[in-house]
Structures are given as structure tokens and as C-alpha cells.
Chain A
């Protein structure tokens, strides 16, 4: 079950990506289910792109950005949080679990913490029932 899990992670190429790099250098490994997509800033991700990822067969979506008060591009993480919250509402409307999408903020130095959050997110998603959409695609 866990092997087939697919979590699309939109990662900002600044603080969040350097956090992941730092953690991997320190010997932590990325959870198997995480599929990283680097974006210049989390503020670049549009609402349809987040929903499309679920539609394409991902079980869950994580948006990983800088800390809000310390965002590399000043406003990016803040805008992304708003979008993620909006998607949560939409997911409720179409009777999907809103917990399938999550915004995670990380400083560039707290890579280990970020990996822990990702592992927790993965286990939360693994406990959820299989996505109906996914069955339909296959």
C-alpha cells in the first residue's frame, strides 16, 4: 500500500529546497512517496495546478515553502497558504478529505524538522482510504 502512495510536493527552490538538500546531506532520506516539483516560489503555484495534481493521480499534495515572515520573495508563502486553504474548502465540497493537501513552511536550516513533518504527512495520508479518482484512472 505504502509503495504505491504518491504525494506531489511543490517545493520552493529557495529555503525549502535548501532545507531538503541539507537534510539529505545530513543523512536523512526523503520519504519514498514524495515526488518533488521545484518551483521558483510557492506563490507561483496556481489553484488549478494543485487540483490537477490530485486529478492526475496523486494521493495528496504538499506545498513546501519558506517561513512566512522570511519568505525569499516576500509574499510567496503567504499567498500559497491562502490558496491551499481555498483548495481545502473545494475538497470538502467534492467530498474529498481536506487533509490531503497541506502547506508546510520550513526555514533553510531546519531540514530535519521538515523531513519529520513530511514523514508524518505521509503516514496520515497512508491511513486515509484509497482515492476514488485513482481507481478510476487505472
Chain B
């Protein structure tokens, strides 16, 4: 059997294992007799910290890897950094034998099974390769916030207040915001994002000029759901989100005019094509008209045809007294400051009219996905879906890439008050990331043999972390800092050019052979 020698460390925890002294001795003797694992040592339970000091000076005799066998969950002992220094932490395999224990059977009968499992584990480990973690100090000391709504501005201010140089890249023109360490780059479109945690580079176009900004960490603020529900200053009208219309209508207040708007962004920014929640909107308008919540109920919409499928609902609403008014993008409705009215150019009459608007109801979730935004940043388009599904591994504010934090991407469209804690969490996580000062890369886990690479791009397409790229020699290369060691590229490579350091081909082969009982 080829491979490196493996040091076997067995916990003599009688309480957890349920083995008696004789059985433990039998297990140890069998392990010692094994040619592969020459250094079987029984130690006191390593889950107790006091016993770990003795482990520093274990006679390991040239082994650089170890199997630690015990009967509790690996997380209970935490990182294995209490072994002799020659044994690198990446080459320690903690085996939890309690998983394999058959419950309700005398433990003495299971010694054979434990032996088999430990042998298989040692066989696999003897072919594992050393992975060296690398500490990479951040190349940049600044942070970038991308987004153009109020949340983005607030987040940028919060980060800048901690003394970190912050750049706010916004698509829209922003009113002058002045704060220490804050640099506002407005009216610019982000073109791409590359780099590694601690050294990101964001390319953007501002007024026709291509520029680049570097940052240690990036905060992406979603445009779609975090619009502060505020009307222009000095306006007396009240804005009600369509999603909160039910609770508003339960209040029973009566007003002169109520306007239902197809899209909230109509009033504030230049929105692209929108898909309003027509069904909810028409139902709400009908309710308002039927229950006489307002004397004048009107629906302002860009494209009436879009609601063609809801013709019955449309007719019912019209019968109840709802007025429908069309507008187009060139002449957007404007809110009058002095009187509570909205001025709009009616396309049918061809004339400008004023409609009473004491209350404006608009859906905040009408903004669709931001495919353009995501494409420009060259991210997988279903990122927020992933971060939602990742649940236990990733919080809502975290993206699959370290150093990039998200606001408003996880889960569903949400109102400001729900998104507020998400912002706090994202900002605090980002500050913690910035304060750390260095990024720990696991080291190149997947390694490509350039001689074998046929440049078919299969790994580039498959890698879920986008760690596989083509280098200047037109061969595939794994970016060590992004690789998570999942091995998906290894198995898809048609030229068998990639191997995984933490689970090499010989290691799996040896493990299969050892566990099926065919020993060479």
C-alpha cells in the first residue's frame, strides 16, 4: 500500500464510546499492528482541554497527518490545532465513530467495524494533499456601495462614519450628500466587477468616460424594494403602499381624492418597463370606490392594455366609479405642492388635467428583478435565490462571495421597515469584514494540469463559484482565493486534467478499496 504514513489518535473516552478497557486495548493493538498506521496512540479524551497539552509532544515519528477517532461530534472539539506542529491542520481527519455505532447492540461486537472504518479513513488520508491556507492582506482600504436609493445613501454614510473611505456609485443623479470620507459618484453605470475579497475592482462609466474604482468590500443595494415611501418635499398628499392598503382601509378614513398609481418609481426616477400587480391594484381600487373611501377614485396607468386579461375586474371597477387615466413616459404625472392634486396629460383628451389626490396608493413591489444590473456585474442571475436557499450557511446579507454584501436581494420583495434590519446587518457585517484587515484563502484546492487541459471551457461553465478562468496561455486556471473545493470541475473535465487536493482520486480509490475489503 503506497501513500504516506498516518498517525492514528484514538480517544479512550470510555463514557462516550461504551467500550470497556479490554476492547479499547484490542482496538489499539490492531491499529498498531497495521503497517499503514504505525503510530497508534491512545490518549485521554481530546474534548477536554486540559488533556490537550499532553498531545503537543506525542511521538509521531515523521508522520505529517493524523486520524483523530472519537465518539462525539467533530464540532465539539473545534479546530484541531493542539496536535504536534508537524501535523498540518488541513491533514487531520476527525472521525466521529458514534455515527457508525449500531444502537442497542453490545459495543464489544463493534470493534471490528470501528477498525474497518479507521483503516478506510487512514487509507484515504494517506493520499490527501497538503493545503496551505494563505493570509492575504487587503490591497485596498476603501469600500464601495452600489445603489441609488435612500438605503444606499444611508448605508454609505454609516460606513463612512466609521472612518472608512466609501464610494457610492449610483445610476441616478443624487442630491448633494456631504459627509466625511464619503465620495459620491452619481450618474454612472457599473460595467463589471472582478477581483478577490479585499481587492475588488469595479468598472463604471460616468458621462461617457470609463473609470475603475477599487475596494476591499462591496455592498450591493437592491433597487426594487427599498424605496423610502416619501413624496417630494412639501407635498401634503399621503402615500400608501399597495401592500399596506388593507390596513389603511381598515382605518376607515375618508378623503376627497384617491389615486392608484401603477408604479411608485414613476414619481421619483426614470423607471424601465414595469409589471404592476394589476390584480391587487384593481381589487383595491374597486374596494375604495365601493366603500366610498374617497369621492374621486382614479387609476393612473401607463399601459391599460396590460390588464386585458382582467377584463371583468376592470369592468367591475369602472362600474363602481373608478376613473382610468392613461399617461405615457414622455409626460409623467406630477404632484402639485400647494394643492393636493396630480397633474397629468390625458392621452385620450390630449389635454392636461388635475386630479384630486389626497392619498396616493402605489405598489412598491412592482419593480421587476434587475437583470441589467446583475448582468453588468457579471453575476449569476439567481444570486438572491441562492442566498435565500443557503439559509443556514449564509445570512440574508451575505453573498456567495466573501466581501460582497447584499441589501434587499434575499428572499422576496419587501417594504422598507422589513428591509431596515437587513441593512443594519449588512453594514455591521461589512464593517467587521473591513476591520479584519486580511482575507484567508484556502489555497488552490482544485489544481489543473496545464499539459492535459484542452481548453474546452467545461470547468469555466460548471464552477459554481466562478473560480475557473482561462489564463493568458489559453489554458484553464483555478483562482485559488475563490475555490471552495467542491470538486464539480474535477468530475466534468473530459481531459481528466483537474484533481482535488482535499479529495484526490487515489484517496477515494483507496477508501473504496479499504471499505469493500479488497486490500492490495
Contact = CB atoms under 8 A, between A and B. Distances in A.
Interface of A: 6, 8, 20-21, 24-25, 27-30, 32, 35-37, 39-41, 43-47, 49, 52-53, 56-58, 69-70, 72-76, 79, 83, 108, 137
A83 to B, nearest CB: 7
Contact of A70 (B389, B487, B508): B389
Contacts of B279: none
Contacts of A39: 487, 503, 508
A74 B517 CA distance: 34
Nearest to A26: B103
Given A21-B73, A40-B487, A52 B518 contact: no
A79 B488 contact: yes
A77 to B, nearest CB: 10
Given A41-B488, A43-B487, A24 B101 contact: yes
Contacts of B120: 35, 37
10 contacts: A8-B512, A35-B116, A43-B491, A44-B491, A49-B508, A52-B512, A53-B516, A57-B517, A57-B518, A73-B484
B96 interface: yes
B100 A30 contact: yes
B230 to A, nearest CB: 38
Interface in B78-126: 96, 98-104, 113, 116, 120, 124
Given A8-B515, A25-B73, A44-B500, 20 more contacts: A6-B517, A21-B73, A28-B103, A36-B100, A37-B124, A37-B508, A39-B487, A39-B503, A40-B485, A40-B503, A41-B488, A43-B492, A44-B487, A44-B490, A53-B516, A56-B512, A56-B518, A69-B389, A70-B389, A76-B488
A52 B99 contact: no
Contacts, number: 109
A127 to B, nearest CB: 20
A56 B487 contact: no
Contacts of A29: 101-104
B392 A108 contact: yes
B134 interface: no
A41 B483 CA distance: 13
Contacts of B491: 43-47, 79, 83
Contacts of B515: 6, 8, 35-37
Contact of A58 (B124, B462, B503, B516): B516
Contacts of B73: 21, 25
* Smallest CB-CB A-B distances: 3 pairs: A44-B487, A35-B515, A73-B486
Contacts of A79: 462, 488, 491-492
A81 B457 CA distance: 22
Contacts of A25: 73, 98
A98 to B, nearest CB: 20
Interface string B509-520: 101110111100
A3 to B, nearest CB: 11
A76 B488 CA distance: 6
